[in-house]
Amino acid sequence: MKIKIKKIFTALSLVSLISLQSCGNVIQKAESKPAEHTITRTDTADTPENDNSTTAVDAFKPVVTLSPIKDTVTDVKNQPSETETGITTGVVTSTTATTTTIAPSVMRGNLYDCDGTLLMYSQKDASGKEQRMTNDMNKVAFANVLNEMSDGLDKVFDRQLRTQNPTPVGDSKTGQSIQLTFDADIQNAVYDYMATTGIIGSAVVMRSDGSLAAEVSYPSYNPDDYYGIETDEDLAWGTYGNKAFQNFPPGSCFKIMSEVLSDKHGIYSVYDEGTWYYDGTSIVNWDHDTNWGYPMERSLYSAFVNSSNIFFAHAFDTIGKDDVLADLESIFHFVSDIDCDFGTISNNIEIYCNDDLRRSAFGQSYVMTCPLYLAALGREAVFGDMVKPFTMKNIVDTNNVNQIISTGSKDHDIIGTIPSQYRQNLLDGMTGVGGNLGVYVPSGYSFYAKTGTAETWEGDFLYITGILKNSNDDGTKKYSDYSNYSDSYIIVTQFRNPQAFGFSFASESASLYQGIVNCVTGQ
């Protein structure tokens, strides 16, 4: 389930050159991870009531298309290649590679959900070849998360699944099985809701220990229609790819981090005119032409709840590039990669000039991340620590899902911490945003949120990073299983087709978010 980001150095040089020409003096590039997409330098318009990013008048909006570069292998002949599992052999010629697949010595074990529901299993076809099967009840909702043709967990966990099971399984050599953290009931309910309402995008549901309860991407596909093929571009990265693991600008959800950095550097008040003109361009707030209160002296709380781009752009400008990047890394693990059991989360922030620095503060310019990271960020915002997301709960005996061979990935794996003195102001702001959204949560829960409207090369994306915090959950609980889990949930939604609903701002999608909350809580 690893996002496909080809490191194309020729294209990267082109991006850098254009950015240097637009910015004049270079400040610094923090991290360069070009993706196969078109980058459009624009601003964002956030939410009219509480998450109001901006529609900016940007004097320079370069469009750079990064074209994939095909690799060629030369002067390597008659060298056998073998996968980690030892089931593929082949001969590499000067320009082409041919492979022959033979029957594996150990067939893959099963994949189960957190309650023991069977998701995937192996059987032999008439020729004796391993045939990977899916549970009909769950196969579409899980296809772009689990299936090999989507670079899903069945492929990611291939080595573990092909490790010989400790007890015989029928007359075949079969591997041990994996119990995942996913809850099939939640996964199916959220997928069906998105399909019924016509939401294109993704939804991530994470528990407070970092385990993923659901990772839904719509649209998905029926894997039976593609059986027998290897990884398919459209299934892995295109129309049916896992959108929860794809990088795009996050819009004002990034302000969760900007608020903490402002607090840390003592920036509590900024003169906000609604529009900030500089260097022949401008940054504007969502309500710059409707709010007669401008100019105003804007507080940090007001800036977060009303999503002022001007405030946080000024804050980053004051803090400076070096400290911004250092704090983003040390507090939020945003700059360097996060190696999870399902793949690597690789965020992106590039700062070539002051304009990039200012726009990064509200999640635009060269800032990119994925909903999976936003879930980890939301968890940190409410509990103070960022824990690494994970999907493997236990390795189990294929003959008995309740027989645990070993525990899977580490829970509560802390990779970032908000200093205690900067937590309350953030919680107050997220309480304000959550209250303005009007989302109903069950008794005993508090709701914290940040919304974000991001302009991307594929149109506007609407985000809600929300946390349903159980009053009895302090974020330190350990769970032997999740069958009776009733503690906190971090729920991140990404709506990629807001025009279908007539939405312009993320706050307008609160009714759709409510539907997903209902799927998770059973309301």
Q: How far apart are CA 430 and CA 448, in angstroms?
A: 5
31 neighbors 367 (Cβ within 8 angstroms): no
Strand partners, 269: 299
152 neighbors 436 (Cβ within 8 angstroms): no
Q: How far apart are CA 382 and CA 96, in angstroms?
A: 52
The DSSP annotation for 383-447 comes to: HSEEE--B-EEEEEETTEEEEEEEE-SPSS-EEEE--GGGHHHHHHHHHHHHHHHT----TTEEE
pLDDT at residue 104, rounded to an integer: 61
Amino acid at residue number 81 = S
Q: How far apart are CA 492 and CA 369, in angstroms?
A: 13
Using left for φ > 0, alpha for ψ between -120 and 50, and beta otherwise, residue 333 falls in left
Q: How far apart are CA 135 and CA 327, in angstroms?
A: 45
Q: CATH 3.90.1310 region(s) of the chain?
A: 108-240
pLDDT at residue 36, rounded to an integer: 37
Fold topology of 108-240: Penicillin-binding protein 2a (Domain 2) (3.90.1310)
| Tokens matching residue 54 | 């901006």
Q: How far apart are CA 490 and CA 467, in angstroms?
A: 4
Q: How far apart are CA 494 and CA 453, in angstroms?
A: 10
Tell me the mean pLDDT per 10 residues along the chain, length 523. 36 38 44 36 40 36 31 31 32 32 74 97 86 91 94 95 91 92 98 98 98 98 82 82 97 98 98 91 86 91 96 98 98 98 97 97 97 98 98 97 96 98 98 97 97 96 98 96 95 98 96 98 87
Polymer length in residues for the chain:
523
Q: Which residue do the tokens 């025009």 mark?
A: 499
Q: How far apart are CA 112 and CA 109, in angstroms?
A: 10
Q: Which residue do the tokens 């030892």 mark?
A: 86
Q: What is the dihedral of CA 83, 88, 91, 93, to 10 degrees?
A: -60
209 neighbors 478 (Cβ within 8 angstroms): yes
Angle at CA of residue 253, ends 251 and 256, nearest 5°: 135
Q: How far apart are CA 92 and CA 94, in angstroms?
A: 7
Q: Provide the 10 A C-beta neighbour count for residue 266.
A: 9
Q: How far apart are CA 176 and CA 247, in angstroms?
A: 33
pLDDT at residue 17, rounded to an integer: 37
Radius of gyration of the chain (CA): 24
